[in-house]
A and B are shown apart, each in its own frame.
Chain A
Amino acid sequence: MNNIGKNSFDIGYMDTLALGDSSLHRLDPRAKLITTLVFIVTVLSFGKHTVSAMLPFFIYPIVLISLSGLPSRYLMKKLLIVSPFAVLVGIFNPFIDREIIYYIGSIGISGGWVSFLSILLRFVLTVTAALILLSLTGFNAVCASLMKLGLPRPFVVQLLFFYRYIFVLTDEAERMERARSLRAFNSEAMNIKIFVSLIGHLLLRTIDRAERIYLAMCCRGFDGRIRMIRKMKRSYKELFFVIGWSLLFIFLRNYNITLKLGQAFTGVIK
């Protein structure tokens, strides 16, 4: 009927995962954020026909998941859910780029298929890295780190408020939609008139809520500036983590160890 509830529950679950306790969980969020960013940029910097060189990058998510105890099945399910998107993006390539670049026996594999595979791999790697970051750190901590790293304060404050109220709003939306669908006798998506009315009411209620929140803030002395206590750790562990992984990524970016390994193997066999 509607998947609003499912989506918001999902986000909440990642916050629950972030409350876990492992050496990785305890690492300062900034370290995890920076490493994830380096990872993503490195992966995405590959050329469009790269496939084998990307494979070793799976070491990052695998190591993180294993050491932190994150539920791999859950992460894989999430990945699967969003994967059609990647397929959609790359599916044209095999039809357009037909230049053969590989042969298996007498079957030619076009560049289009290779780049399609490359797109899929990119997708899996980057999305997994982002999901892991969130499941290890939690949205709020990621935002706090971003602020410490220089993101403008009004933006981060607003992000935090937004996140805080996502669940409240999706709850309301879900309830309204459920109430409507119980009185609608078709199972199709709602018609525009009803949608506008529903959204309109939700909007007015939201604006009223903002007013009440503002009052509550004023009653507790709000003067325009949001203050938060955030203790950040900075030790050699964090440095080690960031530099170690970053060096590995750069190394893997420049040396295709997959190929080297394969060649060594086939060389030995020969």
Chain B
Amino acid sequence: MHMADALISPVVGGVMWFATAGLIAYSAKKVKKEADDRKVPLMGVLGAFIFAAQMINFAIPATGSSGHIGGGMILSILLGPYAAFLVMASVLVVQALFFADGGLLALGCNIFNLGFFPCFVAYPLIYRKIAVDIPNQKKIMIGSLIAVIIGLQLGAFSVVIETMFSGISALPFSTFLILMQLIHLAIGVVEGLVTAAVVTFVFKARPEILNAAGNYILIGKVEMKKLIIGFLLAAIIIGVGLSWFRSKNPDGLEWAILKTSKAEGVDSGGLASGLVGGCLIILIVFLIGLILRRYKDKHE
């Protein structure tokens, strides 16, 4: 579900970065207020755990393909929503930086899609309601499963919206939507089951861990409502703004051509200059590189 820089327009990317940055600031403030010193090493180390765990693939039965866990839900259960969001953000940052899992512009979208929904929506509204008071194995299983599935569905939907509004990929909306939702439903079931199993494992081996975790500061009903309303408002504003923007530029192709250069038109003459110029530029850049390298070696 990781998005790529290449699919995101700067506008959408920027907006999502804005949203993500706001969420990070908000979560950081909450974590600071919780003032639970124990969490400082725990958050970091759990982040490393999720990072490492994501590198281990398991076989999905009956499909012959392999999968790996996402982690947002496990983190939320162990750390509470705010800390979990920060940890998820870190994991994605490192993956984006070191494995180019998407790119830096899309990072804002990715953190939002993979972090906001599990931590701030699925966990408090679903898992907590089902499995935190007097937990038992069945409740944990059901709670994790549903929470993970819903979280992934929402995330997938978000991806579709972001891609569509960016207008760079040429996929048609409805096909894309159905594809994404279905794929992530399947992924959600698998990940939900695995998450449920892992949490159950912890519950059976060391129940006190889950008990301690459940006592973390809860997003109050009022706050949650505020969050959701804020989010909806933002979505509406963004939606309206972007569709106005698009209506002014009905054809992405035309707009792109107009914007990027005065000469890149639709004739072969333009193409020829483009090709020739392209080769020349590459040559020049390469030469500059060689010269600088020579200069550096000489001055060592």
A–B contact via C-beta, under 8 angstroms: yes
Cβ contacts under 8 Å, A78 to chain B: 100
Q: Are B51 and A166 in contact (CB under 8 A)?
A: yes
26 contacts between A and B (CB under 8 A): A47-B259, A52-B264, A55-B282, A63-B288, A99-B253, A112-B170, A119-B168, A123-B4, A123-B6, A126-B5, A126-B103, A158-B87, A159-B94, A162-B51, A169-B51, A170-B55, A173-B55, A190-B57, A192-B61, A196-B198, A199-B56, A200-B198, A206-B45, A217-B37, A217-B40, A224-B40
Docked pose: A168 CA to B103 CA in angstroms: 26
Q: Are A260 and B171 in contact (CB under 8 A)?
A: no
A157 at the interface (CB under 8 A from B): yes
Q: Are A203 and B49 in contact (CB under 8 A)?
A: yes
Other-chain residue from A45, A206, A259 in contact with B46 (beta carbon distance below 8 A): A206
Closest CB in chain A relative to B170 CB, distance in Å: 4
Closest CB in chain A relative to B105 CB, distance in Å: 5
Cβ contacts under 8 Å, B32 to chain A: 153-154
Closest CB in chain A relative to B120 CB, distance in Å: 16
A85 at the interface (CB under 8 A from B): yes
Q: Are A126 and B105 in contact (CB under 8 A)?
A: yes
4 further A-B pairs in the complex, CB-CB below 8 A; given A58-B282, A155-B89, A222-B37: A45-B10, A66-B288, A93-B169, A164-B48
Which A27-78 residues have C-beta < 8 A from chain B?
Answer: 37, 40-41, 44-53, 55-56, 58-59, 62-63, 65-67, 69, 78
Docked pose: A257 CA to B285 CA in angstroms: 13
Q: Are B202 and A204 in contact (CB under 8 A)?
A: yes
With most chain A CB atoms within 10 A of its CB, the pick from B60, B205, B260 is B260
Q: Are A47 and B257 in contact (CB under 8 A)?
A: yes
Known contacts A4-B55, A190-B58, A41 near B273 by CB under 8 Å:
no
Q: Are A172 and B273 in contact (CB under 8 A)?
A: no
Q: Are A170 and B274 in contact (CB under 8 A)?
A: no
Closest CB in chain B relative to A256 CB, distance in Å: 4
Which A133-183 residues have C-beta < 8 A from chain B?
Answer: 134, 139, 151-155, 157-166, 168-170, 172-173, 177
Q: Are A96 and B86 in contact (CB under 8 A)?
A: no
Cβ contacts under 8 Å, B256 to chain A: 46-50
Q: How large is the interface on B (under 10, 10 to 19, 20 to 34, 35 or more residues)?
A: 35 or more
Cβ contacts under 8 Å, A214 to chain B: 37-38, 40-42
A219 at the interface (CB under 8 A from B): no
Closest CB in chain B relative to A64 CB, distance in Å: 9
Q: Are B275 and A262 in contact (CB under 8 A)?
A: yes
Q: Are B266 and A102 in contact (CB under 8 A)?
A: yes
Closest CB in chain B relative to A122 CB, distance in Å: 5
B44 at the interface (CB under 8 A from A): yes
Q: Which residues of B contact A (CB under 8 A)?
A: 4-10, 13, 24-25, 27-29, 31-32, 35, 37-38, 40-49, 51-53, 55-61, 66, 69, 74, 78, 86-87, 89-91, 93-94, 96-101, 103-105, 167-172, 193-194, 197-198, 201-202, 205-206, 209, 252-253, 255-257, 259-261, 263-264, 266, 268, 270-278, 280-282, 285-286, 288-293, 296
Q: Are A173 and B53 in contact (CB under 8 A)?
A: yes
Closest CB in chain A relative to B262 CB, distance in Å: 8
Closest CB in chain A relative to B257 CB, distance in Å: 7
Q: Are B52 and A4 in contact (CB under 8 A)?
A: yes
Q: Are B90 and A189 in contact (CB under 8 A)?
A: no
Other-chain residue from A14, A112, A122 in contact with B98 (beta carbon distance below 8 A): A14
Docked pose: A204 CA to B74 CA in angstroms: 13
Cβ contacts under 8 Å, A209 to chain B: 45
Closest CB in chain A relative to B191 CB, distance in Å: 11
Q: Are A259 and B59 in contact (CB under 8 A)?
A: no
Closest CB in chain B relative to A206 CB, distance in Å: 4
Known contacts A4-B52, A66-B292, A173-B55, A259 near B274 by CB under 8 Å:
yes
Q: Are B170 and A207 in contact (CB under 8 A)?
A: no
Scan A218-258; emit 1 where CB is below 8 A from any B CB, else 0.
Answer: 00001110100000000000000000000000000000111
With most chain A CB atoms within 10 A of its CB, the pick from B29, B66, B89, B98 is B98
Q: Are A155 and B24 in contact (CB under 8 A)?
A: yes
Chain B residue nearest to A193 (CB atoms) is B197
Known contacts A7-B99, A203-B49, A258-B274, A40 near B104 by CB under 8 Å:
yes
A198 at the interface (CB under 8 A from B): yes
Chain A residue nearest to B105 (CB atoms) is A44
Docked pose: A10 CA to B290 CA in angstroms: 27
With most chain B CB atoms within 10 A of its CB, the pick from A154, A161, A169 is A154
Q: Are A192 and B58 in contact (CB under 8 A)?
A: yes
Docked pose: A112 CA to B253 CA in angstroms: 10
